Copies of this chain bind each other. A is one copy, B any other.
Amino acid sequence: MKQFRIAIINITGYIGAEVARLLYGHPGVQIISVTGRSEAGKKLGKVMPYLSDIDLVIEAEPREADLIFSSLPHKASAEAIAPLVKKGVKVVDLSADFRLKDAAEYPRWYDFTHPAVELLPKAVYGLTELHRSEVAPASLVANPGCYPTGAILALAPAVKAGLIQPDVIVDSKSGVSGAGRTPSLGTHYAEINESVSAYSLEGHRHIPEIVQELSAFHPDKPVSVTFLPHLVPMTRGILSSCYARLVEGKIAVSQQGIAELRQHYREFYKGEPFVKVVDIPPQTKQAWGSNLCLLHPTIDLRTNRLIVVSCIDNLVKGGAGQAIQNMNLMLGFPETTGLEALPVYP
């Protein structure tokens, strides 16, 4: 039954650990190797007690496997993955290293020259709902960033149908786990609790992903994206509020138009197991611990503006869950395998 062998590179971050948590319940795969540089040699359960039922020792290098997840930081991930991909191992990369098609974007946004440019054309951007047919045969999937996942799913139906002007604002509110597991003053409990802040006002690294994917639906002109992320005092969840001016004449600025807009979104995501278009504005908790993306599109009737609110769990649909959704396609499982659990509420 547990037919495929899986390795996780860098399990000691939150995304790597979340891949392990979710795979533990997957009936068709077996985690056979986990790595983590600073903790190599220790039992996984000593370092992460909540994973103690996974009886493995953290290693320095991954063992041979059928598919490997990498949750290394950017640049390090490309360096570690490139030889594996060349040997024919299937890889889902949770770093940013293969998300951008244009190699020139890496020095610009990530301050490094890409060490494996030749792999960029092979890599598939793993926003499953938009690239399903490419993911299945892929040997290298670039798992999307947490913010782009929620933002692109929120805006793709409107951009593709030409409902909005190609100039969007994405205002995102994220839980703190998105900042990773390395302690810093910026993630120190007493600094973060009872506080909200905006960050990366000079331009966040997730911008080029959002631009790339939305512009693919708008060939005439790239979509302009103002993106502002905020840190809110919670552990998991991203709510993105997306704003854009409606193109005149495309959809009625009325209750009827709102109903049509929702219907359009429902058709766009018809059959999608993880995307729900909801009539009541969602809260991030309704996706907590699950692979769901909840979308609430509406129109500000006073100002002729599209507003779409999207909610995800940043570590699941915004990370480990989507990675497993992609793995399922790559290994031939039903897409929802191992991801069926309902959100945990309250």
Structural contact, A226 and B14, CB atoms closer than 8 A? no
Structural contact, B230 and A193, CB atoms closer than 8 A? no
Assembly stoichiometry (copies): 4
- Which of A235, A237, A296, A302 has most B Cβ within 10 Å? A235
Structural contact, B50 and A194, CB atoms closer than 8 A? no
Contact with B along A307-324 (1 / 0, CB 8 A): 101010000000000000
**Complex Cα gap A284–B231 (Å):** 11
Given contacts A176-B190, A189-B188, A232-B173, contact A21 B196 (CB under 8 A): no
> Which one of A62-70, A95-103, A338-346 is at the interface?
A338-346
A220 at interface (Cβ–Cβ under 8 A)? Answer: no
Given contacts A201-B309, A303-B226, A342-B51, contact A194 B194 (CB under 8 A): yes
Given contacts A14-B346, A197-B281, contact A25 B341 (CB under 8 A): yes
Q: Which residues from chain B contact A345 at a C-beta distance below 8 Å? A: 17, 21, 48, 50-51
A239 at interface (Cβ–Cβ under 8 A)? Answer: yes
Residues of A in contact (CB 8 Å), total 81
**Complex Cα gap A224–B289 (Å):** 39
A252 at interface (Cβ–Cβ under 8 A)? Answer: no
**Complex Cα gap A205–B288 (Å):** 30
Structural contact, B198 and A239, CB atoms closer than 8 A? yes
Structural contact, B346 and A190, CB atoms closer than 8 A? yes
**Complex Cα gap A244–B198 (Å):** 17
Structural contact, A281 and B201, CB atoms closer than 8 A? yes
> Which one of A74-82, A130-138, A140-148, A178-186 is at the interface?
A178-186
Given contacts A201-B307, A345-B21, contact A243 B169 (CB under 8 A): yes
Q: List 11 A-B contacts (CB under 8 A).
A: A14-B190, A177-B346, A181-B185, A187-B189, A188-B188, A190-B346, A193-B194, A196-B284, A201-B300, A203-B301, A226-B243
